Amino acid sequence: MGLVISYIILAIYSVALLLIFFYSLAQLNLLVNYLGHKRQNQTAPKFNLLDAKEIPHVTIQLPVYNEEYVMGRLLENISKIEYPKSKLEIQVLDDSTDESVVETAAKVEELKKSGLDIKHIRRTNRKGFKAGALKEGLEIAKGEFIAIFDADFMPSGDWLKKTVIYFKDPEIGVVQTRWGHINREYSTLTRIQAFALDAHFTLEQVGRNAKGHFINFNGTAGIWRKECILDAGNWEGDTLTEDLDLSYRAQLKNWKFKYLEDVETPAELPVVISAARSQQFRWNKGGAENFRKSVMSVISAKNISFKTKFHGVMHLLNSSMFLCVFLVSILSIPAMYIKALYPQFDIVFNLLSFFVLSTIILFICYWFTYKSIQGSSFDNFVDYIKLFFTFFSVALGFSLHNSIAVLEGHIGKRSEFVRTPKFNLNNLTDSWKGNKYLTKKLSPNMIFEALLMCYFLFGMYSAIPLNDFGLFPFHFMLFLGFGFVFTKSLTARA
């Protein structure tokens, strides 16, 4: 019986490692694309905004829900967008249920008096959540192009001048910009989030877009052609990542996406782990939901290449890598004992050790994205090494939480769109404590995370009697990662 269980454990362990390896190879291919793109001269037809006849009408949509701390900052920033007022409309799509509604209404009225075409649009219910709000706003939008900003984003005054010009190409359906991070250095948590997002907004978005593979509108800091939204079937609220859903439907209908790495749109990162948890859960569950919804359409599409299909499937499976990582982590300790008890599996373990290459590949890929933003000096490389392993450890610590999100997405369990609380912290000394939007509930996940911290401490101890230290660094990072997530989650309830 023990031998049968060992076979099952090793089979699951091996498949999970293989999927992680395929993911790392896909990332390596994106790195090659990224570096090749950097060497190319990019040209594209552009609107001449000095010619009044070429200036298109734009609607800016601001979907908000209970954003008391950042609404003033958002509206003040958007009011400074440099664009002819006769060609600009602003929709504040306000689904709020708290007192922020009153302050928002007052600010909107104040901006109206300055000559801005700005509307405060309220709904009687939150049907479809953010997607529903965007869809309702679209019905009355004047613009032929629709820019979207979440409440924590602060585009520069010339943002529209840098983005709308690319729509002179009638095949372009979306222009997406790179996210910046106004509070990158606030804490270890914000540095880790910035690190991960920078990799997505450089390596992944550029690497896919450079070869015509599918990318995604990131929900904010981008601009759509209204015709593209309608042609692709409009916003739908049946997944938690409506942006990824509409992106794939649009590209399956041959609309092109333009990604602008050199246009940065600053935003605020979650500074407390409960906020990061809600954001991670929504993104990862939404990714799995979109895999269920779109993967067969991608595979069966006649109008895209095999390589685009491969990258599309891997893109839709991105969040599912957390499930693979979690399985590898949990099974790594039984695998140690199997290795000691059954010498006949030695060849299997020798082969599995090859998959350490996945980590090396990701280390190389993330270095190129890190140095593109932070610089390539020796000091930066040392900082990168520390940050990479910190990021890796904390990502492992999030693997239980994110795996639950992925499983819910794959089995079709529906859940409410949970917003990420915003804080409006302007410097390192500002405190998030007292934020009324923070959840105070003790999550059952936290208890399991504490148990997993102890489990991987046992894994480190097991290396001693088994005289097998090959997985000791991995178990150490898991111990640190689950310890970080657990202790920070306790602190966030203060």
Q: Give the active site residues.
A: 95, 243
Residues 6+ apart with CB under 8 A from 112: 118
CA 441 to mean position of chain CA atoms: 25
Are 47 and 167 in contact by the 8 Å Cβ rule? The answer is: yes
CA 283 to centroid of chain Cα atoms: 6
Name the one residue in this structure whose structure tokens are 């040392």: 382
* Contact call for residues 235 and 66 (beta carbons, < 8 A): no
Number of neighbouring beta carbons within 10 Å of residue 443: 14
Instruction: Tell me the CA distances in angstroms from 151 to 68, 228, 389, 411, one per residue in order.
Output: 10, 24, 31, 31
Sign of CA dihedral 124, 127, 131, 132: negative
User: How far apart, in whole angstroms, are the C-alpha atoms of residue 93 and residue 208?
Assistant: 32
Element (H, E) at 410: helix 399-411
Q: Output the six-digit token pair for 430.
A: 């500002």
Q: How far apart are CA 144 and CA 146, in angstroms?
A: 7
Is there a contact between 318 and 244 (Cβ–Cβ < 8 Å)?
Answer: no
Reported as type and span, the H/E element at residue 441 is none
CA distance 449 to 95: 34
Q: Which amino acid is at 108?
A: V
Distance CA 55, CA 75 (A): 23
Percentages of the chain per state (helix, strand, coil), in multiples of 5: 60, 10, 30
Please give the radius of gyration of the chain, using alpha carbons only, rounded to the nearest integer: 24
CA 197 from chain centre, in angstroms, equals 6
CB atoms < 10 A from the CB of 112, how many? 14
- b/e map of 179-201 (b: 16 or more CB within 10 Å)? bbbbbbebbebbbbbbbbbbbeb
Q: Classify residue 361 by its DSSP letter.
A: H
Name residues whose C-beta falls within 8 Å of residue 109's C-beta, 6 or more positions apart in sequence: none
